Structure 1
Amino acid sequence: MTNYWSVDPSRGTGPGPQYLAEIAAGIERTNELLTRVLAEVATTPATHAVFADAGYVYAAAGRLVTGTEDRRTFELDAEGLIEAFIDKARSIFPDSRLLRVYWYDGARRRIHTAEQQGIAELPDVKVRLGNLNANNQQKGVDSLIRTDLESLARHRAISDAVLIGGDEDLVSAVEAAQGYGARVHLWGIEAVGGRNQAEALLWEVDSQRTFDLEFCKPYVTRRTGYEPPVEERAVQGPAPSREDVRFVGARVAAQWLGSRGRASLAELLPGHPYLPGGVDQELLVEAEALLGLSLRGHAELRRALRDGFWDHLRAQL
């Protein structure tokens, strides 16, 4: 049996020389291991990825350059714009390598269109598809972005994430990625009056950047000779006021509360001011039907809609 302790009448009882030597050896091995780890980290290049909500890009760029969000009325040079995004990221992160660009779009039954197929064939680009409903509204795109952003951050596959979008539903993904140590940078396209990105999203990210008309104009071209169907032209008019949209939000809240009951209200309140994705989508669809136009690209009006919804619910307490 090894004797780690010695008795010295002049010093009392304490650890023996062999015990101290083993501690010193252990500390030395630990220091060597830490040195190797730090050296490996120092030589591992930083990595970034770009997460682009195509619906936001089309709507915001279309409105900025041509005055409309209707994708049928203009052409977007997606290849050129994606390359411009890659170049911009390269200049901002000079010591980082690109993992890939994730391009999130919607399609009927998640079947690629010819345009989406062309984008998917671009190098360093992965197209991820959500669904399109009967009103040409994207379904499931935000959840795809959240899943990819959180997963890559969790596995330390990226150190920086460029997020091109504006929906408030992305706040939880930003928070989760930051929790895993990734920095999230929000890029947007200049809005024609007001904002097209949720304030809550702007508050959470690590940095912000906005691309102006001069940047976007080379990639957007108006199609000649196209006219929307008469029934669509009839419902598309000037954007409603914030108060009009707020009133519609309260109206939808009254309908929601009448069908779900106060028990559902109690479950919803702890999340204020955020709405679960399903409830938020239901609110948006019902409001757009009542208003007769899409709120896509109108972040300020969508916030007013949520405010009206919450105002009515909280008044019932």
Structure 2
Amino acid sequence: MNDASPPTQADPGPPDLDAPDAGRPHLGALLAAVERTNELLQRVLAEVATTPSTHAIFADAGYVYAAAGRLVAGTEDRRTFALDAEGFIDAFIDKARAIFPDSRLLRVYWYDGARRRIHTAEQQRIAELPDVKVRLGNLNANNQQKGVDSLIRGDLESLARHRAIGDAVLIGGDEDLVSAVEAAQGYGARVHLWGIDAVEGRNQAEPLLWEVDSQRTFDLDFCRPYVTRRTEGYEPYGEAGAGGPAPGRDEVRFVGAQVAAQWLAARGRDSLAELLPGRPYLPGPVDQELLFEAEALLRLSLRAHADLRRALRDGFWEHLQAQY
């Protein structure tokens, strides 16, 4: 048998670290990579340090109307008072600017309800304001908002998740908003609850008050410039003290056509097609809107004069039919 062992290779010894084929990156290349990484990190940190923080305002219009109407006009019925939404929004923006001086405004989200989510003329005007986005929930037969809370939660959570805002101003009072607050806080945003003084008791849910990071309420003096009773300046026809003669049927028909033009511009031809088959009858909400808008233009009440109300509807229908 051949007992000879296979020849052994000589020990190569420790690797030469300076050799380019040693199987490891050259030490000089490693140092250069580290320096480049540090330079990139310094640039990122410098950019973050100079980027201003951002805040947004989330306003539940239903709460603003109800709370401000009750405080200033003594009623929550929107039909009986006018609210200067543009003035209110500007006041909220100014207040936020004072509270967050080192932060920039992303935008104001104005949440309201509308039938079939079609903007009213007033909501269209608000949507045209700079830095304002109108978001619409639905409005049921009892004029109650539906879906607004879920819209607030979706926007608030999304902006917080993407680090688009650091502070969120929430103007509302519904307990259903607690989940929106929790979601935003889970992503690191601070949520500040703003409200309007209640005539008695509270108009914001206690669980909501417990959950937010800070609270602030606005008093009567703050709200008074932005709320006006619609009945101020109206003269009821046929009653003592009425100023001037009642307008004629032609004048009222013309006002009806004016309101119809505004209605059509706000809702579009699809809504007109739905309305026409019911002529000469108007759905209750449309009829009420027509009456309130006409009284605002005339600065007089039509409640006691059925003949003028008929002329008003005639003018409304005549304009719509001419556009179909």
Scaled by the length of structure 2, the TM-score of the pair is 0.62
Instruction: Find out whether 1:168 has 2:168 as its counterpart.
Output: no
Give a deviation string over 1:8-45, Cα, whole Å, max 9, x none: xxxxxxxxx97776665554444323211111101112
Offset of 1:169 from its aligned partner?
A: 1.1
Give a deviation string over 1:247-287, Cα, whole Å, max 9, x none: xxxxxxxxxxxxxxxxxxxxxxxxxxxxxxxxxxxxxxxxx
Q: What residue identity is the alignment partner of 2:208?
A: L
Offset of 1:224 from its aligned partner?
A: 1.1
Offset of 1:97 from its aligned partner?
A: 1.2
Counterpart position of 1:300:
none
Counterpart position of 1:154:
161
Counterpart position of 1:114:
121
What is the aligned length? 216
Counterpart position of 1:242:
none
Q: Name structure 2 gaps, 5 residues minimum.
A: 1-12, 16-23, 235-324
Aligned pairs for 1:96-245 (under 5 A) are 96-224=103-231
Counterpart position of 2:304:
none
Counterpart position of 2:289:
none
Q: What residue identity is the alignment partner of 2:87?
A: G
Q: How large is the Cα RMSD of the aligned pairs? A: 2.4
Q: Which SS does the other structure have where 2:54 is aligned?
A: strand
Structure-2 separation of matches of 1:29 and 1:195: 59
Q: Which SS does the other structure have where 2:108 is aligned?
A: strand
Q: Which SS does the other structure have where 1:102 is aligned?
A: strand
Q: Name structure 1 gaps, 5 residues minimum.
A: 8-16, 227-317
Give a deviation string over 1:148-206, Cα, whole Å, max 9, x none: 11111111211111110011111111111112221111111011111111111112211
Instruction: Find out whether 1:79 has 2:86 as its counterpart.
Output: yes
Structure-2 separation of matches of 1:66 and 1:215: 14
Aligned pairs for 1:250-269 (under 5 A) are none
Q: What residue identity is the alignment partner of 1:104?
A: Y
Offset of 1:6 from its aligned partner?
A: 5.0
Give a deviation string over 1:103-138, Cα, whole Å, max 9, x none: 000011111111111111111111111001011110
Counterpart position of 1:245:
none
Spell out structure 1 runs of 4+ moving beyond 4 A. 17-27
Structure-1 separation of matches of 2:14 and 2:96: 64
Identity %: 86
Scaled by the length of structure 1, the TM-score of the pair is 0.63
Q: What residue identity is the alignment partner of 2:92?
A: F
Offset of 1:89 from its aligned partner?
A: 0.8
Structure-2 separation of matches of 1:201 and 1:28: 50
Structure-2 separation of matches of 1:94 and 1:78: 24
